[in-house]
Structure 1
Protein backbone atom coordinates (compact mmCIF):
# COMPACT_ATOMS: atom_id res chain seq x y z
CA UNK A 1 0.00 0.00 0.00
CA UNK A 2 1.04 3.63 -0.45
CA UNK A 3 2.94 4.50 2.76
CA UNK A 4 1.08 7.81 2.87
CA UNK A 5 -2.14 5.93 3.63
CA UNK A 6 -0.75 4.74 6.94
CA UNK A 7 -0.68 8.32 8.20
CA UNK A 8 -4.46 8.20 8.44
CA UNK A 9 -5.62 7.66 12.02
CA UNK A 10 -6.34 4.05 12.91
CA UNK A 11 -10.06 4.55 13.43
CA UNK A 12 -10.42 6.23 10.04
CA UNK A 13 -8.63 3.33 8.37
CA UNK A 14 -10.86 0.85 10.11
CA UNK A 15 -13.98 2.74 9.14
CA UNK A 16 -12.90 2.95 5.52
CA UNK A 17 -11.96 -0.71 5.44
CA UNK A 18 -15.27 -1.77 6.92
CA UNK A 19 -17.10 0.38 4.41
CA UNK A 20 -15.14 -1.12 1.51
CA UNK A 21 -15.71 -4.63 2.82
CA UNK A 22 -19.42 -3.97 3.14
CA UNK A 23 -19.49 -2.43 -0.32
CA UNK A 24 -18.00 -5.61 -1.75
CA UNK A 25 -21.12 -7.39 -0.52
CA UNK A 26 -23.62 -4.72 -1.49
CA UNK A 27 -26.16 -5.83 -4.03
CA UNK A 28 -26.31 -4.32 -7.48
CA UNK A 29 -29.23 -3.80 -9.80
CA UNK A 30 -30.35 -5.53 -12.96
CA UNK A 31 -31.48 -2.21 -14.41
CA UNK A 32 -28.84 0.40 -13.56
CA UNK A 33 -29.75 3.98 -14.38
CA UNK A 34 -27.26 6.33 -16.04
CA UNK A 35 -25.87 9.01 -13.77
CA UNK A 36 -27.33 12.45 -14.49
CA UNK A 37 -25.06 14.84 -16.40
CA UNK A 38 -22.98 17.22 -14.33
CA UNK A 39 -23.99 20.88 -14.38
CA UNK A 40 -20.39 22.02 -14.71
CA UNK A 41 -17.97 19.16 -15.44
CA UNK A 42 -15.10 21.65 -15.92
CA UNK A 43 -15.35 22.93 -12.36
CA UNK A 44 -11.84 22.31 -10.91
CA UNK A 45 -13.32 21.61 -7.45
CA UNK A 46 -15.50 18.74 -8.63
CA UNK A 47 -14.55 15.30 -7.35
CA UNK A 48 -12.68 13.24 -9.95
CA UNK A 49 -14.85 10.24 -9.05
CA UNK A 50 -17.88 12.06 -10.46
CA UNK A 51 -16.11 12.40 -13.80
CA UNK A 52 -14.61 8.92 -14.09
CA UNK A 53 -17.79 7.29 -12.77
CA UNK A 54 -19.69 8.62 -15.78
CA UNK A 55 -17.41 7.04 -18.38
CA UNK A 56 -18.91 3.74 -19.57
CA UNK A 57 -16.20 2.79 -22.11
CA UNK A 58 -12.40 3.03 -22.20
CA UNK A 59 -10.52 5.86 -23.86
CA UNK A 60 -9.67 5.22 -27.52
CA UNK A 61 -5.95 5.56 -26.84
CA UNK A 62 -2.94 3.24 -26.57
CA UNK A 63 -2.85 1.20 -23.37
CA UNK A 64 -0.98 3.12 -20.72
CA UNK A 65 -1.00 3.27 -16.92
CA UNK A 66 -0.80 6.72 -15.35
CA UNK A 67 0.02 7.13 -11.67
CA UNK A 68 -0.29 5.00 -8.55
CA UNK A 69 -2.83 2.36 -7.59
CA UNK A 70 -4.72 4.86 -5.41
CA UNK A 71 -4.34 8.02 -7.53
CA UNK A 72 -4.24 7.51 -11.26
CA UNK A 73 -6.04 6.30 -14.36
CA UNK A 74 -5.61 4.02 -17.38
CA UNK A 75 -6.02 4.56 -21.11
CA UNK A 76 -6.82 1.78 -23.56
CA UNK A 77 -8.15 -0.58 -20.88
CA UNK A 78 -9.31 -4.06 -21.83
CA UNK A 79 -12.54 -5.61 -20.62
CA UNK A 80 -12.59 -9.06 -19.08
CA UNK A 81 -15.33 -11.02 -20.88
CA UNK A 82 -18.09 -11.45 -18.33
CA UNK A 83 -18.25 -15.21 -19.02
CA UNK A 84 -15.31 -17.52 -19.61
CA UNK A 85 -14.58 -21.22 -19.48
CA UNK A 86 -13.65 -20.92 -15.80
CA UNK A 87 -14.80 -17.50 -14.64
CA UNK A 88 -17.83 -15.24 -14.34
CA UNK A 89 -17.92 -11.53 -13.51
CA UNK A 90 -20.10 -10.36 -10.64
CA UNK A 91 -21.93 -7.04 -10.02
CA UNK A 92 -22.09 -6.14 -13.70
CA UNK A 93 -24.03 -2.98 -12.90
CA UNK A 94 -20.86 -1.45 -11.45
CA UNK A 95 -19.03 -1.69 -14.80
CA UNK A 96 -15.74 -2.46 -13.04
CA UNK A 97 -14.44 -5.38 -15.10
CA UNK A 98 -11.76 -3.41 -16.96
CA UNK A 99 -8.01 -3.43 -16.58
CA UNK A 100 -4.60 -3.54 -18.16
CA UNK A 101 -4.30 -6.45 -20.64
CA UNK A 102 -1.69 -8.02 -18.33
CA UNK A 103 -4.25 -8.12 -15.50
CA UNK A 104 -6.96 -9.53 -17.76
CA UNK A 105 -4.57 -12.28 -18.91
CA UNK A 106 -3.62 -13.08 -15.31
CA UNK A 107 -7.25 -13.43 -14.22
CA UNK A 108 -7.84 -15.86 -17.08
CA UNK A 109 -4.77 -17.91 -16.10
CA UNK A 110 -5.82 -17.97 -12.46
CA UNK A 111 -9.29 -19.15 -13.44
CA UNK A 112 -7.77 -22.07 -15.33
CA UNK A 113 -5.44 -22.88 -12.42
CA UNK A 114 -8.33 -22.78 -9.92
CA UNK A 115 -10.11 -25.34 -12.07
CA UNK A 116 -7.08 -27.54 -12.60
CA UNK A 117 -5.32 -27.32 -9.22
CA UNK A 118 -8.17 -26.72 -6.77
CA UNK A 119 -11.00 -28.51 -8.55
CA UNK A 120 -13.20 -25.41 -8.61
CA UNK A 121 -15.49 -25.02 -11.63
CA UNK A 122 -13.93 -21.57 -11.81
CA UNK A 123 -13.68 -18.21 -10.06
CA UNK A 124 -16.08 -15.34 -9.45
CA UNK A 125 -14.46 -12.01 -10.29
CA UNK A 126 -15.39 -8.92 -8.31
CA UNK A 127 -14.19 -5.38 -8.94
CA UNK A 128 -11.27 -4.63 -11.21
CA UNK A 129 -11.24 -1.03 -12.50
CA UNK A 130 -13.59 1.37 -14.23
CA UNK A 131 -13.28 1.74 -18.02
CA UNK A 132 -10.79 4.59 -17.59
CA UNK A 133 -9.73 3.78 -14.05
CA UNK A 134 -9.67 6.75 -11.73
CA UNK A 135 -11.38 7.18 -8.37
CA UNK A 136 -14.66 5.33 -7.84
CA UNK A 137 -17.94 6.77 -6.61
CA UNK A 138 -18.14 4.08 -3.92
CA UNK A 139 -15.85 1.53 -2.34
CA UNK A 140 -12.17 1.31 -3.15
CA UNK A 141 -9.40 3.83 -2.73
CA UNK A 142 -7.19 1.77 -5.03
CA UNK A 143 -8.21 -0.07 -8.24
CA UNK A 144 -7.54 3.17 -10.14
CA UNK A 145 -4.96 2.12 -12.74
CA UNK A 146 -6.19 -1.24 -14.00
CA UNK A 147 -3.72 -3.34 -11.99
CA UNK A 148 -5.99 -4.54 -9.12
CA UNK A 149 -8.63 -7.28 -9.07
CA UNK A 150 -10.84 -8.79 -6.37
CA UNK A 151 -11.46 -12.54 -6.52
CA UNK A 152 -14.28 -13.97 -4.47
CA UNK A 153 -13.40 -16.79 -2.09
CA UNK A 154 -16.66 -18.44 -3.14
CA UNK A 155 -16.03 -20.94 -5.97
CA UNK A 156 -17.93 -20.36 -9.18
CA UNK A 157 -21.01 -22.59 -9.43
CA UNK A 158 -20.99 -25.28 -12.10
CA UNK A 159 -23.45 -23.29 -14.22
CA UNK A 160 -23.86 -19.83 -15.67
CA UNK A 161 -25.34 -17.39 -13.20
CA UNK A 162 -28.26 -15.22 -14.22
CA UNK A 163 -27.94 -11.45 -14.29
CA UNK A 164 -30.07 -11.24 -11.17
CA UNK A 165 -27.84 -13.72 -9.32
CA UNK A 166 -24.75 -11.74 -10.23
CA UNK A 167 -26.27 -8.65 -8.63
CA UNK A 168 -27.95 -10.28 -5.61
CA UNK A 169 -25.70 -13.19 -4.61
CA UNK A 170 -23.31 -12.65 -1.69
CA UNK A 171 -19.87 -14.18 -1.20
CA UNK A 172 -19.30 -16.56 1.70
CA UNK A 173 -17.64 -15.29 4.89
CA UNK A 174 -14.31 -17.05 5.54
CA UNK A 175 -13.51 -15.58 8.98
CA UNK A 176 -14.71 -16.84 12.34
CA UNK A 177 -17.08 -14.61 14.29
CA UNK A 178 -14.40 -13.76 16.89
CA UNK A 179 -12.10 -12.62 14.05
CA UNK A 180 -9.19 -14.69 15.39
CA UNK A 181 -9.09 -17.44 12.76
CA UNK A 182 -10.81 -18.78 9.67
CA UNK A 183 -14.21 -20.43 9.88
CA UNK A 184 -13.61 -24.19 9.49
CA UNK A 185 -17.13 -24.57 8.15
CA UNK A 186 -16.30 -22.51 5.04
CA UNK A 187 -12.51 -22.50 4.63
CA UNK A 188 -11.02 -25.48 2.78
CA UNK A 189 -7.58 -26.50 1.46
CA UNK A 190 -8.78 -25.51 -2.00
CA UNK A 191 -8.82 -21.86 -0.91
CA UNK A 192 -5.12 -22.12 -0.09
CA UNK A 193 -4.48 -23.66 -3.51
CA UNK A 194 -6.17 -20.78 -5.34
CA UNK A 195 -4.42 -18.03 -3.36
CA UNK A 196 -1.08 -19.84 -3.76
CA UNK A 197 -1.59 -20.07 -7.52
CA UNK A 198 -2.16 -16.31 -7.67
CA UNK A 199 0.83 -15.50 -5.46
CA UNK A 200 3.15 -17.62 -7.59
CA UNK A 201 2.43 -15.50 -10.65
CA UNK A 202 5.65 -13.52 -11.32
CA UNK A 203 3.76 -10.31 -12.11
CA UNK A 204 1.83 -10.31 -8.82
CA UNK A 205 3.23 -7.84 -6.31
CA UNK A 206 0.75 -8.12 -3.43
CA UNK A 207 -2.21 -10.21 -2.38
CA UNK A 208 -4.35 -8.75 0.40
CA UNK A 209 -6.37 -11.01 2.71
CA UNK A 210 -7.91 -10.77 6.14
CA UNK A 211 -5.34 -11.42 8.88
CA UNK A 212 -7.18 -14.60 9.93
CA UNK A 213 -6.76 -15.94 6.38
CA UNK A 214 -3.05 -15.05 6.41
CA UNK A 215 -2.78 -16.92 9.72
CA UNK A 216 -4.41 -20.01 8.18
CA UNK A 217 -2.18 -19.87 5.12
CA UNK A 218 0.91 -19.70 7.33
CA UNK A 219 -0.28 -22.69 9.32
CA UNK A 220 -1.34 -24.84 6.39
CA UNK A 221 1.20 -24.13 3.63
CA UNK A 222 3.59 -27.01 2.92
CA UNK A 223 6.72 -27.32 0.81
CA UNK A 224 7.69 -24.12 -0.99
CA UNK A 225 6.47 -21.23 1.16
CA UNK A 226 8.21 -18.34 -0.59
CA UNK A 227 4.91 -17.18 -2.09
CA UNK A 228 3.65 -16.31 1.42
CA UNK A 229 5.88 -13.24 1.27
CA UNK A 230 3.45 -11.60 -1.18
CA UNK A 231 0.33 -12.32 0.91
CA UNK A 232 -0.32 -9.41 3.24
CA UNK A 233 -2.93 -8.88 5.98
CA UNK A 234 -5.27 -5.98 5.33
CA UNK A 235 -8.48 -4.69 6.86
CA UNK A 236 -11.59 -6.34 5.45
CA UNK A 237 -11.02 -8.99 2.76
CA UNK A 238 -13.09 -11.55 4.66
CA UNK A 239 -14.98 -12.69 1.56
CA UNK A 240 -12.46 -12.11 -1.22
CA UNK A 241 -8.76 -11.66 -1.87
CA UNK A 242 -7.23 -8.71 -3.67
CA UNK A 243 -4.61 -9.24 -6.37
CA UNK A 244 -2.27 -6.38 -7.27
CA UNK A 245 0.18 -6.71 -10.13
CA UNK A 246 3.39 -4.80 -10.75
CA UNK A 247 3.72 -1.92 -13.16
CA UNK A 248 3.92 -3.41 -16.66
CA UNK A 249 7.37 -3.43 -18.31
CA UNK A 250 8.15 -0.09 -19.92
CA UNK A 251 5.28 1.71 -18.16
CA UNK A 252 7.29 4.80 -17.27
CA UNK A 253 4.26 6.75 -16.04
CA UNK A 254 3.20 3.97 -13.64
CA UNK A 255 4.19 4.49 -10.00
CA UNK A 256 5.03 1.20 -8.32
CA UNK A 257 5.35 0.35 -4.65
CA UNK A 258 8.31 -1.28 -2.88
CA UNK A 259 8.79 -5.00 -3.17
CA UNK A 260 7.51 -7.00 -0.17
CA UNK A 261 9.86 -7.34 2.78
CA UNK A 262 11.89 -10.49 3.10
CA UNK A 263 10.32 -13.31 5.07
CA UNK A 264 7.00 -15.11 5.14
CA UNK A 265 5.30 -12.66 7.50
CA UNK A 266 4.10 -15.59 9.58
CA UNK A 267 5.72 -15.01 12.96
CA UNK A 268 3.72 -14.10 16.04
CA UNK A 269 5.28 -10.65 15.89
CA UNK A 270 4.29 -10.19 12.26
CA UNK A 271 0.63 -10.90 13.03
CA UNK A 272 0.36 -9.45 16.55
CA UNK A 273 -0.84 -6.02 15.44
CA UNK A 274 -3.71 -7.46 13.41
CA UNK A 275 -5.05 -9.45 16.36
CA UNK A 276 -4.58 -6.70 18.93
CA UNK A 277 -7.58 -5.40 20.82
CA UNK A 278 -7.20 -1.97 19.21
CA UNK A 279 -7.73 -3.50 15.77
CA UNK A 280 -10.31 -6.15 16.62
CA UNK A 281 -12.33 -3.93 18.97
CA UNK A 282 -11.53 -0.31 18.10
CA UNK A 283 -12.92 2.37 20.37
CA UNK A 284 -14.64 5.27 18.67
CA UNK A 285 -12.67 8.51 18.93
CA UNK A 286 -13.94 11.25 21.21
CA UNK A 287 -13.94 13.59 18.23
CA UNK A 288 -14.85 11.88 14.94
CA UNK A 289 -12.19 12.52 12.30
CA UNK A 290 -13.13 14.83 9.48
CA UNK A 291 -13.70 12.95 6.23
CA UNK A 292 -10.93 13.33 3.70
CA UNK A 293 -11.88 15.56 0.79
CA UNK A 294 -12.31 13.63 -2.46
CA UNK A 295 -9.56 13.67 -5.06
CA UNK A 296 -9.92 16.30 -7.75
CA UNK A 297 -8.36 16.13 -11.20
CA UNK A 298 -5.52 18.33 -9.92
CA UNK A 299 -4.48 15.51 -7.57
CA UNK A 300 -4.19 12.99 -10.42
CA UNK A 301 -1.44 12.76 -13.05
CA UNK A 302 -1.88 15.44 -15.73
CA UNK A 303 -2.34 12.74 -18.40
CA UNK A 304 -5.62 11.72 -16.75
CA UNK A 305 -7.28 14.86 -18.15
CA UNK A 306 -6.48 13.62 -21.65
CA UNK A 307 -7.71 10.13 -20.78
CA UNK A 308 -10.96 11.57 -19.47
CA UNK A 309 -11.62 13.72 -22.54
CA UNK A 310 -10.66 11.11 -25.16
CA UNK A 311 -13.40 9.57 -27.34
CA UNK A 312 -14.85 6.20 -26.41
CA UNK A 313 -13.28 3.06 -27.78
CA UNK A 314 -15.47 0.87 -29.98
CA UNK A 315 -14.64 -2.10 -27.76
CA UNK A 316 -17.50 -4.07 -26.25
CA UNK A 317 -17.16 -6.90 -23.75
CA UNK A 318 -18.58 -10.14 -25.10
CA UNK A 319 -20.49 -13.05 -23.58
CA UNK A 320 -23.55 -11.54 -22.00
CA UNK A 321 -25.34 -13.59 -19.32
CA UNK A 322 -28.56 -15.36 -20.15
CA UNK A 323 -31.56 -13.05 -20.23
CA UNK A 324 -29.60 -9.81 -20.46
CA UNK A 325 -30.87 -7.37 -23.05
CA UNK A 326 -28.77 -5.03 -25.11
Structure 2
Protein backbone atom coordinates (compact mmCIF):
# COMPACT_ATOMS: atom_id res chain seq x y z
CA UNK A 1 0.00 0.00 0.00
CA UNK A 2 2.79 2.39 0.96
CA UNK A 3 4.64 1.99 -2.33
CA UNK A 4 1.45 2.12 -4.39
CA UNK A 5 0.63 5.47 -2.80
CA UNK A 6 4.17 6.71 -3.39
CA UNK A 7 3.98 5.64 -7.06
CA UNK A 8 0.66 7.46 -7.45
CA UNK A 9 2.07 10.64 -5.91
CA UNK A 10 5.09 10.55 -8.21
CA UNK A 11 2.80 10.09 -11.18
CA UNK A 12 0.83 13.15 -10.13
CA UNK A 13 4.00 15.18 -9.60
CA UNK A 14 3.40 15.26 -5.82
CA UNK A 15 5.76 14.50 -2.96
CA UNK A 16 4.70 11.92 -0.38
CA UNK A 17 4.68 12.92 3.30
CA UNK A 18 8.11 12.69 4.91
CA UNK A 19 7.30 10.06 7.60
CA UNK A 20 5.70 7.72 5.05
CA UNK A 21 8.51 8.10 2.53
CA UNK A 22 11.22 7.87 5.17
CA UNK A 23 9.74 4.70 6.57
CA UNK A 24 9.80 3.08 3.14
CA UNK A 25 13.47 3.88 2.62
CA UNK A 26 14.42 2.78 6.10
CA UNK A 27 12.85 -0.63 5.57
CA UNK A 28 15.14 -1.46 2.63
CA UNK A 29 18.13 -3.40 3.95
CA UNK A 30 20.21 -3.99 0.81
CA UNK A 31 21.69 -1.76 -1.91
CA UNK A 32 20.69 -1.70 -5.56
CA UNK A 33 23.25 -3.40 -7.79
CA UNK A 34 24.85 -1.97 -10.88
CA UNK A 35 26.84 1.20 -11.50
CA UNK A 36 27.08 3.66 -8.63
CA UNK A 37 24.84 6.72 -9.00
CA UNK A 38 24.17 9.55 -6.60
CA UNK A 39 20.75 10.82 -7.60
CA UNK A 40 19.43 14.24 -6.66
CA UNK A 41 20.58 16.39 -3.76
CA UNK A 42 21.85 15.58 -0.25
CA UNK A 43 18.46 16.59 1.18
CA UNK A 44 16.29 15.09 -1.57
CA UNK A 45 17.86 12.16 -3.33
CA UNK A 46 18.80 8.50 -3.30
CA UNK A 47 21.68 6.16 -4.10
CA UNK A 48 22.17 3.25 -6.47
CA UNK A 49 25.17 0.92 -6.49
CA UNK A 50 26.09 1.76 -2.91
CA UNK A 51 29.02 0.18 -1.12
CA UNK A 52 29.25 -0.61 2.58
CA UNK A 53 32.09 0.95 4.53
CA UNK A 54 33.98 -1.84 6.32
CA UNK A 55 33.20 -1.60 10.02
CA UNK A 56 36.81 -0.84 10.87
CA UNK A 57 40.07 -0.01 9.14
CA UNK A 58 43.28 1.94 9.64
CA UNK A 59 42.45 5.11 11.54
CA UNK A 60 38.69 4.58 12.00
CA UNK A 61 35.89 2.42 13.38
CA UNK A 62 32.19 2.67 12.57
CA UNK A 63 29.74 3.17 15.45
CA UNK A 64 26.01 2.44 15.77
CA UNK A 65 26.17 -0.31 13.18
CA UNK A 66 22.65 -1.44 14.06
CA UNK A 67 21.31 1.63 12.25
CA UNK A 68 22.45 0.15 8.91
CA UNK A 69 23.55 3.60 7.73
CA UNK A 70 27.11 2.74 6.74
CA UNK A 71 26.55 2.83 2.96
CA UNK A 72 27.83 5.38 0.51
CA UNK A 73 28.84 6.10 -3.05
CA UNK A 74 32.18 4.36 -3.74
CA UNK A 75 33.79 7.81 -3.86
CA UNK A 76 32.76 8.38 -0.23
CA UNK A 77 34.02 4.95 0.82
CA UNK A 78 37.38 5.64 -0.83
CA UNK A 79 37.52 9.09 0.77
CA UNK A 80 36.95 7.68 4.25
CA UNK A 81 39.48 4.89 3.89
CA UNK A 82 42.08 7.36 2.58
CA UNK A 83 41.26 9.75 5.43
CA UNK A 84 41.65 6.94 7.93
CA UNK A 85 45.12 6.20 6.58
CA UNK A 86 46.10 9.87 6.85
CA UNK A 87 44.75 10.11 10.38
CA UNK A 88 46.58 6.96 11.40
CA UNK A 89 49.83 8.34 10.01
CA UNK A 90 49.21 11.57 11.94
CA UNK A 91 48.72 9.66 15.18
CA UNK A 92 45.02 10.56 15.41
CA UNK A 93 42.36 8.02 16.07
CA UNK A 94 40.85 5.66 15.53
CA UNK A 95 38.12 8.20 14.81
CA UNK A 96 34.50 7.21 15.18
CA UNK A 97 32.49 7.20 11.97
CA UNK A 98 28.79 7.84 12.43
CA UNK A 99 26.06 7.83 9.79
CA UNK A 100 26.72 7.74 6.07
CA UNK A 101 23.54 6.79 4.17
CA UNK A 102 21.00 4.00 4.11
CA UNK A 103 21.56 1.12 1.63
CA UNK A 104 19.67 3.02 -1.08
CA UNK A 105 20.02 6.47 0.41
CA UNK A 106 16.77 8.40 0.59
CA UNK A 107 15.07 10.13 3.51
CA UNK A 108 15.66 8.85 7.05
CA UNK A 109 12.98 8.51 9.69
CA UNK A 110 15.15 10.29 12.29
CA UNK A 111 18.48 12.01 12.75
CA UNK A 112 19.08 13.75 9.42
CA UNK A 113 17.47 15.77 6.68
CA UNK A 114 20.47 15.24 4.39
CA UNK A 115 22.64 12.09 3.98
CA UNK A 116 20.29 10.98 1.18
CA UNK A 117 22.54 10.72 -1.90
CA UNK A 118 25.49 8.79 -0.46
CA UNK A 119 27.98 11.67 -0.29
CA UNK A 120 27.60 12.75 3.38
CA UNK A 121 29.22 11.35 6.53
CA UNK A 122 29.40 12.29 10.21
CA UNK A 123 32.73 11.94 12.00
CA UNK A 124 32.67 12.22 15.78
CA UNK A 125 35.02 14.54 17.63
CA UNK A 126 35.56 11.96 20.35
CA UNK A 127 39.17 10.75 20.00
CA UNK A 128 39.68 8.72 23.20
CA UNK A 129 37.95 5.46 22.25
CA UNK A 130 40.33 2.52 21.70
CA UNK A 131 39.60 -0.14 19.08
CA UNK A 132 36.44 -1.95 20.17
CA UNK A 133 34.56 -5.03 18.95
CA UNK A 134 31.63 -4.07 16.75
CA UNK A 135 29.08 -5.09 19.38
CA UNK A 136 30.58 -2.59 21.85
CA UNK A 137 30.22 0.43 19.57
CA UNK A 138 26.58 1.13 20.36
CA UNK A 139 25.44 3.82 22.76
CA UNK A 140 28.83 5.50 23.21
CA UNK A 141 28.74 8.95 24.77
CA UNK A 142 29.13 11.83 22.33
CA UNK A 143 30.38 14.83 24.37
CA UNK A 144 29.39 18.32 23.24
CA UNK A 145 32.47 20.51 22.84
CA UNK A 146 30.73 23.93 22.65
CA UNK A 147 28.74 25.35 25.56
CA UNK A 148 25.49 27.32 25.44
CA UNK A 149 27.44 30.60 25.29
CA UNK A 150 29.40 29.51 22.22
CA UNK A 151 32.64 28.74 24.05
CA UNK A 152 34.83 25.77 23.24
CA UNK A 153 35.16 23.07 25.86
CA UNK A 154 38.66 22.64 27.38
CA UNK A 155 38.73 19.17 25.83
CA UNK A 156 38.98 20.76 22.37
CA UNK A 157 42.58 20.25 21.25
CA UNK A 158 45.07 20.63 18.44
CA UNK A 159 44.28 17.03 17.49
CA UNK A 160 40.64 17.96 16.88
CA UNK A 161 41.70 20.91 14.74
CA UNK A 162 44.06 18.64 12.79
CA UNK A 163 41.21 16.16 12.28
CA UNK A 164 39.02 18.85 10.71
CA UNK A 165 41.85 20.04 8.49
CA UNK A 166 42.65 16.53 7.24
CA UNK A 167 38.95 15.90 6.59
CA UNK A 168 38.58 19.12 4.61
CA UNK A 169 41.87 19.04 2.74
CA UNK A 170 40.75 16.78 -0.11
CA UNK A 171 39.62 18.08 -3.52
CA UNK A 172 36.54 15.83 -3.38
CA UNK A 173 35.17 17.72 -0.38
CA UNK A 174 32.49 20.34 -0.99
CA UNK A 175 31.83 21.36 2.61
CA UNK A 176 32.61 20.45 6.20
CA UNK A 177 29.97 21.56 8.69
CA UNK A 178 31.03 22.47 12.25
CA UNK A 179 29.86 24.78 15.01
CA UNK A 180 30.79 28.45 14.58
CA UNK A 181 33.04 28.33 17.66
CA UNK A 182 35.06 25.60 15.99
CA UNK A 183 35.33 27.60 12.77
CA UNK A 184 36.63 30.58 14.76
CA UNK A 185 39.23 28.41 16.46
CA UNK A 186 40.41 27.01 13.13
CA UNK A 187 40.66 30.51 11.67
CA UNK A 188 42.75 31.70 14.62
CA UNK A 189 45.35 28.97 14.23
CA UNK A 190 48.51 29.20 12.14
CA UNK A 191 48.43 26.91 9.10
CA UNK A 192 50.94 26.43 6.31
CA UNK A 193 48.02 26.42 3.84
CA UNK A 194 44.63 28.00 4.53
CA UNK A 195 42.72 27.31 1.31
CA UNK A 196 40.78 24.47 2.93
CA UNK A 197 39.20 26.89 5.43
CA UNK A 198 36.78 28.00 2.70
CA UNK A 199 35.13 24.58 2.92
CA UNK A 200 34.52 24.86 6.67
CA UNK A 201 30.95 26.12 7.13
CA UNK A 202 29.29 26.99 10.48
CA UNK A 203 26.09 25.04 11.08
CA UNK A 204 23.85 24.31 14.09
CA UNK A 205 24.07 20.99 15.97
CA UNK A 206 27.64 20.28 14.87
CA UNK A 207 29.36 20.73 18.21
CA UNK A 208 30.10 17.03 18.82
CA UNK A 209 30.82 15.89 15.29
CA UNK A 210 31.88 17.22 11.92
CA UNK A 211 29.82 16.57 8.82
CA UNK A 212 31.64 16.05 5.53
CA UNK A 213 29.85 16.46 2.20
CA UNK A 214 31.57 15.47 -1.02
CA UNK A 215 31.11 16.97 -4.46
CA UNK A 216 29.18 15.03 -7.07
CA UNK A 217 31.46 12.40 -8.61
CA UNK A 218 32.58 13.19 -12.17
CA UNK A 219 30.15 11.88 -14.75
CA UNK A 220 27.32 11.36 -12.26
CA UNK A 221 24.81 13.34 -14.29
CA UNK A 222 21.81 12.79 -12.00
CA UNK A 223 23.68 14.19 -9.00
CA UNK A 224 23.05 17.82 -8.02
CA UNK A 225 25.85 19.79 -6.34
CA UNK A 226 25.40 22.70 -3.98
CA UNK A 227 26.72 26.05 -5.20
CA UNK A 228 30.36 26.66 -4.35
CA UNK A 229 30.99 28.38 -1.00
CA UNK A 230 31.69 32.13 -1.20
CA UNK A 231 35.29 33.09 -2.06
CA UNK A 232 37.80 33.48 0.74
CA UNK A 233 38.45 31.73 4.02
CA UNK A 234 35.11 32.69 5.54
CA UNK A 235 36.86 33.83 8.72
CA UNK A 236 35.49 37.39 8.93
CA UNK A 237 32.65 38.10 11.37
CA UNK A 238 31.61 34.51 12.05
CA UNK A 239 28.23 34.70 13.78
CA UNK A 240 27.50 32.45 16.70
CA UNK A 241 25.79 29.25 15.67
CA UNK A 242 22.14 29.46 16.76
CA UNK A 243 20.95 26.70 19.05
CA UNK A 244 18.69 24.22 17.32
CA UNK A 245 15.04 24.83 18.20
CA UNK A 246 12.28 22.35 17.46
CA UNK A 247 9.68 23.75 15.10
CA UNK A 248 5.96 23.38 15.69
CA UNK A 249 5.32 23.58 11.94
CA UNK A 250 5.76 20.40 9.88
CA UNK A 251 8.45 20.64 7.24
CA UNK A 252 7.31 20.28 3.64
CA UNK A 253 7.96 16.86 2.18
CA UNK A 254 10.98 16.71 -0.14
CA UNK A 255 10.34 16.13 -3.82
CA UNK A 256 12.59 13.26 -4.78
CA UNK A 257 13.79 12.73 -8.37
CA UNK A 258 11.53 10.36 -10.28
CA UNK A 259 14.43 7.90 -10.70
CA UNK A 260 14.42 7.29 -6.94
CA UNK A 261 11.11 5.46 -7.11
CA UNK A 262 12.74 2.75 -9.24
CA UNK A 263 15.67 2.57 -6.81
CA UNK A 264 13.28 2.08 -3.88
CA UNK A 265 11.13 -0.55 -5.59
CA UNK A 266 13.84 -2.86 -6.92
CA UNK A 267 13.68 -6.27 -5.20
CA UNK A 268 15.80 -6.78 -2.10
CA UNK A 269 18.95 -8.78 -2.73
Same fold, judged at TM 0.5 (above):
yes
In the alignment, structure 1 residue 112 sits paired with structure 2 residue 74: no
Partner of 1:254: 223
Over the aligned positions, Cα root-mean-square deviation in angstroms equals: 1.9
| Counterpart position of 1:137 | 109
Q: Is the 8 A contact 1:66 1:301 kept in 2?
A: yes
SS of the residue 1:265 aligns to: coil
2:34 alignment counterpart: 61
Deviation, structure 1 residue 199: 1.0
What TM-score do the two structures reach when normalised by structure 1? 0.75
Structure 1 regions of 5+ residues with no counterpart?
1-38, 314-326
Question: What is residue 234 of structure 2 aligned with on the other side?
Answer: 265
Give the alignment partner of residue 256 of structure 2, picking from 294, 297, 300.
300
Could you say what secondary structure the match of 2:56 adopts? coil
SS of the residue corresponding to residue 46 of structure 2 reads strand
Partner of 1:324: none
User: Quick one: distance in 2 between partners of 1:178 and 1:303?
Assistant: 43
1:181 equivalent to 2:131? Answer no
**Alignment match of 1:227 (pick from 171, 188, 196):** 196
- For residue 112 of structure 1, give the secondary structure of its aligned residue in structure 2: helix
Q: Is the 8 A contact 2:94 2:131 kept in 1?
A: no
Q: Secondary structure at the match of 1:205?
A: strand
1:279-318 mapped onto 2 (5 Å cutoff): 279=242, 289-295=248-254, 299-313=255-269
Contact map agreement 2:205 2:243 (CA 8 A) in 1: no
> Match of 1:166?
137
Equivalent residue for 1:194?
A: 163
1:48 paired residue number: 21
Q: 1:175-215 CA deviation, whole Å, 9 max, x = no partner?
A: 1x24322112x111011111111111000000000111111
Judge conservation of contact 1:206–1:243 (CA < 8 Å) in 2. yes
What is the SS of the residue equivalent to 2:175? strand
1:54-93 correspondence runs (5 A): 54-93=27-66
Q: Per the alignment, do residues 304 and 91 of structure 1 end up closer, same or farther by CA in structure 2, a change over 3 Å counting? A: same
| 1:60–1:310 contact (8 Å) kept in structure 2 | no
Shift of 1:170: 1.4
Q: Is structure 2 residue 171 aligned with structure 1 residue 215?
A: no
Gaps of 5+ in 2: 7-15
Number of paired residues?
A: 258
